[in-house]
Amino acid sequence: MANNLVIENLKKEISRFEKSVQTQRVGVVMEVFDGIVRVSGLTDIKSSEMVTFAGGEQGVALNLDEESVGIIVLGDYTKIKEGDEVKATGKILEINVGDAMVGRTVNALGLPIDGQGAIATTKTYPIERVASGVIERQSVDQPMQTGIKAIDALVPIGRGQRELIIGDRQTGKTAVAIDAILNQKGQNMICVYVSIGQKDSKLRKLETRLREGGAMDYTVIVSAGASDPAALAYIAPYAGVSIAEYFMDQKKDVLIVYDDLSKHAVAYREISLLLRRPPGREAYPGDVFYLHSRLLERACRRNADYGGGSITALPIIETQAGDISAYIPTNVISITDGQIFLETDLFYKGIRPAINVGNSVSRVGGSAQIKAMKKVAGTLKLDLAQFRELEAFSQFGSDLDEATKRQLERGKRAVEMLKQPQYSPIVTEHQVVGLYALVKGYLDTIPVTDIARFQSELVEYVETNAKKFLNEVRTAKMWTDEGEAELKAAIDNFKVSFK
Amino acid sequence: MAALRTKEYAEALFELTTGTDEKETGEVIQGFVTLLAKKGLLKHQDKIIAEYQKIYNKKNNIVEATVTLINRLSDTARTDLHNTLKKKYNATEVRIIEKIDERLLGGMKVKVGDEIYDASIKNSLNQLEIALLK
């Protein structure tokens, strides 16, 4: 029975193919060089339309010239020969997306590279999509907790925001992003980590780290490695945000990290120069601003009428010797809703994460911060600003009045308080407890070197002795007078026993 | 770019030679070849001739179809194909160039300009393979 069914179906399928005659538009390869193919023919091809080469490689038409078409090859271009036939597919570049992608590592075309077999996807999304319009959007009003005290308190990030992480090499840019991903556990978030031009060894380490932290249960990694052609590095962030948009369309909140956009710009520069587009400043092509603005504009918070959901973007930019006035850094700073500055000096002073809180800003995150955090962070900001001013001044003399000394001591403790080891995100209510103790002056009598230990032990103590306070902050986002009294008593009691 | 220039030369040649009698044409061509020699472009003559042919065909509604099959086209099939293409492209003349390629296994493949009508057994088998793999 079953056998007959198979044969019948097969016959039906075959008969369908016998009848179909396909029209195809083709071109002929004229030149092949460095991942770029120039093709004659292919009339009526659209911009960023996918093409297939005789060997099965895919390409994207980027330059539509009068006499030829400039195509970037997404894969191995060494097998393509002059005179090869190129077929137009009629489709704009797209990738497969689906829920099954969660926990997987894919390349810029959405194909798995983690050796765990095919991904059963249901839909395809174009890689280049127009960002949500004004009608669909809503202002950022929900926090995206990174679990990093310095960020959540001073440069808060909201869901749907675009916050740039910028700094020199080896200042912990990726670490900030990874901590943010690790902290999304149980927050009903999907994370997409786009790795552009990174070493495969780094990616492997990172993936293992995320898996150990249980973060791969809600994370997709999109990778275009250092050895992949520039064409893949160029499309990887767009592929990543298309995957993110799929999840946003499922009404989910998504966090996407682009690590990093400097290399993306470099890959695009390479392609543009090979396509003979005129170079501009720093040899980047004229549309390098648009390259990043159209990508980051796709981050948004959608209102309930359009299904809700959000995409929070954390682009990363690597500066050279702290030069933030280079072309790409200034571009991306102006596109994003704020930036987190990481500095080498701070990093080597042992202030980690090496965030320069004076220069870091969040233009929209403030309205997304919870009330309790806002309350403690306001005082903290003031303390730190005064400290910075006095610190420079106090280096010249030792004769300082009491108030200044107090101010300095408070500042030192604040800086100490904001230090945090890697891979150890702290939940919001615990952050609030620590910062509360600081701004209310409870730490002024604790030696600076003991601050970290004091804080972690205090949190443990409060966990059993001021449950009400923690609960209020967790659920109502603000403490009541009762809760505050309970916390005060708990801190007082703890201080007595602290050695 | 060389590609652009051959096309421009071919266009110029076409414009200069339309509506001229035999004597004038001869003169124009003589001048044209002298120009090519001067510019050192005689080595591109094949390309220019091909471009000229393309422009001529386009302006005169002539369709050139390359038909690939495994053995020679029968007369009835040839007339059929001729008429179909003439109707489809609204052409005044259809030129059929035959090519033999046994790798097609059967059926035929018609190429007109950048368009290919692939009705070969090989293509069907390829499509079948893709469909069955899904």
Tell me which amino acid residue A139 is: S
Q: Give the distance from residue B110's alpha carbon to the nearest chain A alpha carbon, in angstroms.
A: 9
Q: At what angle do helices A402-417 and A371-394 cross, to 10 degrees?
A: 120
Q: Which chain A residues contact residue B113 at CB under 8 A?
A: 41, 43
* % chain A with pLDDT above 70: 98
pLDDT for the residue A329: 96
Digit-coded pLDDT (tens) for A52-98: 998 889 999 999 988 899 999 998 899 999 999 999 999 999 999 99
Q: Is B50 on the interface with A (CB under 8 A)?
A: no
Q: Which chain B residues contact residue A20 at CB under 8 A?
A: 124, 127
List active site positions of A: 363
How far, in Å, are B29, B42, B50 from residue B17 at the CA level? 8, 19, 16
Residue of A451, A417, A410 whose CA lies nearest to A432: A417
pLDDT for the residue B11: 84
Digit-coded pLDDT (tens) for A150-207: 999 999 999 999 999 999 999 999 999 999 999 999 999 999 999 999 999 999 999 9
Q: Across all residues in chain A, what is the average pLDDT?
A: 92
* 0.85 surpassed by complex ipTM: no
| Widest pairwise Cα distance in chain A | 99
Here the tokens at position B24 are: 């004038």
CB atoms B127 and A20 under 8 Å: yes
CB atoms B114 and A20 under 8 Å: no
CB atoms B116 and A42 under 8 Å: no
CB contact set of A367 (below 8 Å; sequence gap of 6+): A139, A140, A141, A158
- Residue A325, Cβ neighbours under 10 Å: how many? 9
d(CA A411, CA A396) in angstroms, rounded, equals 18
**What phi and psi, each to the nearest 5 degrees, are found at residue A129?**
-125, 155
Digit-coded pLDDT (tens) for A314-361: 999 999 999 999 999 999 999 999 999 999 999 999 999 999 998 999
pTM of the predicted model as reported, rounded to 2 decimal places? 0.88
pLDDT for the residue B1: 43
Residues 18-57 of A with CB under 8 A from B: 18, 20-27, 30, 40-44
Specify whether the CB–CB gap between A335 and A162 falls below 8 A. yes
Digit-coded pLDDT (tens) for A469-486: 999 999 999 999 999 999
Digit-coded pLDDT (tens) for A266-310: 999 999 999 999 999 999 999 999 999 999 999 999 999 999 999
**What phi and psi, each to the nearest 5 degrees, are found at residue A313?**
-110, 135
pLDDT for the residue A372: 94
Low-confidence residues of chain B: pLDDT under 70:
1-4, 134
Digit-coded pLDDT (tens) for A91-119: 999 999 999 999 999 999 999 999 999 99
Is it the case that residue A398 has pLDDT exceeding 80? Answer: no
Q: Is B64 on the interface with A (CB under 8 A)?
A: no
Digit-coded pLDDT (tens) for B86-107: 888 888 888 888 888 888 888 8
Q: Which chain A residues contact residue B117 at CB under 8 A?
A: 21-23
Which sign, positive or negative, has the C-alpha torsion A119, A260, A149, A340?
negative
* CB nearest to B115's CB, from A14, A25, A67: A25
Is it the case that residue A422 has pLDDT exceeding 60? Answer: yes
